[in-house]
Amino acid sequence: MAAMAGPPRLTRAARAHLPADTVRGLPPEGAGVGIVHLGPGAFHRAHQAVFTQEAMAAEGGDWAICAAAARGRAVVDALRAQDGLYTVTERAADGADRVRVVGAVADAVSARDEPERFAVAVAAPTTHVVTLTVTEAGYRHDPATGRLAEDDPETAADAAGRPPRTAVGQLVRGLQARSRLGGTPLTVLSCDNLPANGRLLRGLVESFCALLPEREGGPLWEWISAHTAFCGTVVDQVVPATTPADVDRVAAALGYRDTAAVVGEAYRSWIIEDAFAGPRPAWERVGARLVADLAPYETVKLRCVNAVHSAAACLGLLLGATTVSEAVGHPALRPFLVALYERELAPSAAAHGGAPPAAEAVLARLGNPHLRHRLAQIAQQGAKKLPQRLLAPAAEHLATGRDPRLACLAVAGWARLLRLPPGERPALEAGSEDIAAGLAAARGPREAVDLLRVHVPALSQGGGRDLGDRVADALAGLEREGAEGALRAAAP
C-alpha cells in the first residue's frame, strides 16, 4: 500500500500560497548574512531570529543569519530542506495562536561536521555579530572559577587541534580564521541564562587560548581581545521544546509541514549591553533595549523568572506534576511559590536595583495553560542553574541576618529529585545522572548534601550553619513529610 502523502514542506515556493499575515515582514530573498548564530535551538528561532527579521523590516540591512548547530545536525537538515523558513507560533494565555513565517535564516551549517564552513562564516568580512544559545552546559565552565572546567576532556581535545566539538572551541577557531584574514572587529553576544554571560564567555575564550601552544594562543588572544567585544544580554521569552502536536497544529493551520516550528509565549524581552565593536541590526527599533549596565535586569530575570521556574520544576515533579502550568496551579505549590517570591527572591533582586514584577504577574506568565513547558526540561542541569537562580539570593538573605528557608527548600527539592530511583523521576542529562547515583547511595540527607557540595560549591556559603546545612534540614523535612506536607508547613 502506498504511504499517504502528508502536507508538503514549508519552502520559499509555498510563500505565495500562505495567508498574507503569516508572511508579512519576511526579509527579501538574497539578504546578506551579517550574523552567525551558534546553537539554533527553539529559543533562538523564536527570539533573536524574530527580533532580527523585524529589525530588517524596520531598517533594512544585510543581517540575515547563518544558523550553526554546535552538536547535532537535525535542525540544519530541517532548515536546509525548508530554504531556511520556519514558523513561530505565539500562543497567548487564552490559547489564541499567532503564526508567522520567519525567513531571517539564510544559511545553515553544522559547526561539528563542517568546521571549515563555520569558520569561513565567522571570518567573513560581512559578518559583524556572533550570537550564542548553547545552554548552561554548553559553556563547559566551572561556575566557581568562571573558567573552563580544568578536567574537561572535550575542551582538551579541541585545544589539541581536532575539528572542534565544544562551543567555545568552535568560536575560538572561527575567531582564529578571522584573525588570519586580518578581519574587522566583531561583537559576540551570549544569549544564555547565565550571570554576566558576556564577561563569562570572554573569560572562557581567553582560557581556551591559554590551552593552545603559547606561540599560537598568545598572539591569538591578543588579536581577539583587541578586535572582539563580548556583550552581555538578558533574554526573556518562554519557549518550550516543540512537540509533535505543535508540528501537526502548524500543518493544519497552514497546509505545510514545518519540522523546525517553534511555539512560545507572546511576551518577549531582550536587553543588550551597549558595547558593540562594529555595526549591528536596529534591534532597538523593534523592542530590544540597549543599556550600559545589565546587572539590575539580569538579577530580576534570573531570580524572579528563572528561579521560580526551577523551584516549580523540582518541587512540581515531586508532587507528580508534568508541566509548569500544572505546577504553578497546584494548591500546595502555588502559595509556596508566592511566598518564596515575595519574601526572598523579589527583595533580593530589588536590592540590586532591579524592579521585580508582582508575583501574580510572573505566575500568570509561567502558568500559561496552553504552553506545555515540561518541568523535566527545566529541571535539567541543576548544578549549573541553581547557584545563580536560588543560592545567590539565599546567600545574600543569610548575609543580612535572615533565614532563606524557602529558597533552601526549593534547592532541597532538586536534591530529593536526584535521590529518587531512576524510574520515579525524569531522565537527567549525563552529568546529573552521575550526581544522582552518588546521592541515591548516601545514608541520609546530610551525607547527600555533603556530596552535592562537591558539584555545587555555592552550597558552602554562609559560614556557621551554612546554606548546605539548611538545604540538608529541608531535605530531611521533604523525606519525612513528603513534598506536599513540607510545602504546606513552609507556606501555609
Ligand X SMILES: NC(=O)c1ccc[n+]([C@@H]2O[C@H](COP(=O)([O-])OP(=O)(O)OC[C@H]3O[C@@H](n4cnc5c(N)ncnc54)[C@H](O)[C@@H]3O)[C@@H](O)[C@H]2O)c1
Interface residues with ligand X (CB under 6 A)?
39-44, 69-72, 133-138, 167, 192-193, 235, 237-239, 241
Q: Could you tell me the end-to-end alpha-carbon distance of the chain, in angstroms, rounded to an integer?
A: 61
Helix (H, G, I), strand (E, B) or coil at 379: coil
Q: Are strands 141-142 and 147-148 parallel, antiparallel or unpaired?
A: antiparallel
Among 64, 171, 305, 418, binds ligand 44H (CB under 6 A): 305
d(CA 449, CA 243): 35
Give bridge partners of residue 187 from the DSSP assignment: 129, 229
Q: Closest by alpha carbon to 250, among 82, 1, 472, 440? A: 82
Asked if 309 is part of the footprint of ligand 44H (rule: CB under 6 A), the reply reads yes
d(CA 425, CA 416): 10
Task: Looking at residues 17 to 76 of the shown chain, list those that interact with ligand 44H (rule: CB under 6 A).
Answer: none
Binding at 137: pick from ligand 44H, ligand X, none (beta carbon under 5-8 Å per type) = ligand X
Task: Looking at residues 419 to 448 of the shown chain, list those that interact with ligand 44H (rule: CB under 6 A).
Answer: none
Binding at 167: pick from ligand 44H, ligand X, none (beta carbon under 5-8 Å per type) = ligand X
User: Is the Cβ of residue 346 or residue 472 nearer to ligand 44H in the bound state?
Assistant: 346
User: Is the Cβ of residue 14 or residue 371 nearer to ligand X in the bound state?
Assistant: 371
Least distance in Å: CB of 364 to ligand 44H?
A: 14
Do the beta carbons of residue 456 and residue 387 sit within 8 Å? yes
Which amino acid type is present at position 144? A
Q: What are phi and psi of 147, to 5 degrees?
A: -110, 170
Residue with cell 540591512: 61
b/e per residue 183-196 (b: at least 16 CB within 10 A): beebbbbbbbbbbb
Least distance in Å: CB of 70 to ligand X?
A: 4
Asked if 155 is part of the footprint of ligand 44H (rule: CB under 6 A), the reply reads no
Binding at 133: pick from ligand X, ligand 44H, none (beta carbon under 5-8 Å per type) = ligand X
Binding at 306: pick from ligand X, ligand 44H, none (beta carbon under 5-8 Å per type) = ligand 44H
Helix (H, G, I), strand (E, B) or coil at 133: coil
Q: Which residue is nearest to ligand 44H (CB)?
A: 309
Residue with cell 508538503: 8
Q: Closest by alpha carbon to 382, among 450, 306, 326, 440? A: 306
Give bridge partners of residue 262 from the DSSP assignment: 88
DSSP-assigned letters across all residues of 302-322: IIIIIHHHHHHHHHHHHTT--
d(CA 412, CA 468): 9
Task: Looking at residues 272 to 301 of the shown chain, list those that interact with ligand 44H (rule: CB under 6 A).
Answer: none
Among 378, 392, 411, 439, binds ligand 44H (CB under 6 A): 378
d(CA 50, CA 40): 12
Binding at 305: pick from ligand X, ligand 44H, none (beta carbon under 5-8 Å per type) = ligand 44H
Least distance in Å: CB of 238 to ligand 44H?
A: 4
| Listed ranges 161-169, 233-241, 278-286, 336-344: which one lies at the site for ligand 44H (CB under 6 A) | 233-241
Which amino acid type is present at position 205? V
Binding at 309: pick from ligand X, ligand 44H, none (beta carbon under 5-8 Å per type) = ligand 44H
Among 236, 258, 298, 326, binds ligand 44H (CB under 6 A): 236
Q: What is the DSSP letter of 442?
A: S
User: Is the Cβ of residue 101 or residue 345 nearer to ligand 44H in the bound state?
Assistant: 345
| Listed ranges 21-29, 78-86, 216-224, 230-238: which one lies at the site for ligand 44H (CB under 6 A) | 230-238
Separation in Å, CA 393 to CA 146, 153, 369, 412, 413? 19, 33, 29, 15, 17
Binding at 72: pick from ligand X, ligand 44H, none (beta carbon under 5-8 Å per type) = ligand X
User: Is the Cβ of residue 69 or residue 317 nearer to ligand X in the bound state?
Assistant: 69
User: Is the Cβ of residue 238 or residue 332 nearer to ligand X in the bound state?
Assistant: 238
d(CA 49, CA 270): 12
Which amino acid type is present at position 243? T
| Listed ranges 20-28, 48-56, 286-294, 304-312: which one lies at the site for ligand 44H (CB under 6 A) | 304-312
User: Is the Cβ of residue 177 or residue 235 nearer to ligand 44H in the bound state?
Assistant: 235
Least distance in Å: CB of 262 to ligand X?
A: 8
Least distance in Å: CB of 450 to ligand X?
A: 28
Binding mask 120-139 for ligand 44H (x = CB under 6 A): ---------------xx---
Least distance in Å: CB of 105 to ligand 44H?
A: 21
Least distance in Å: CB of 192 to ligand 44H?
A: 7
d(CA 10, CA 101): 9
Strand order of the sheet with strand 228-231? 105-110, 64-69, 33-38, 129-132, 186-190, 228-231
User: Is the Cβ of residue 193 or residue 388 nearer to ligand X in the bound state?
Assistant: 193
d(CA 170, CA 178): 12
Binding site for ligand 44H (CB under 6 A): 135-136, 193, 236-238, 305-306, 309, 378
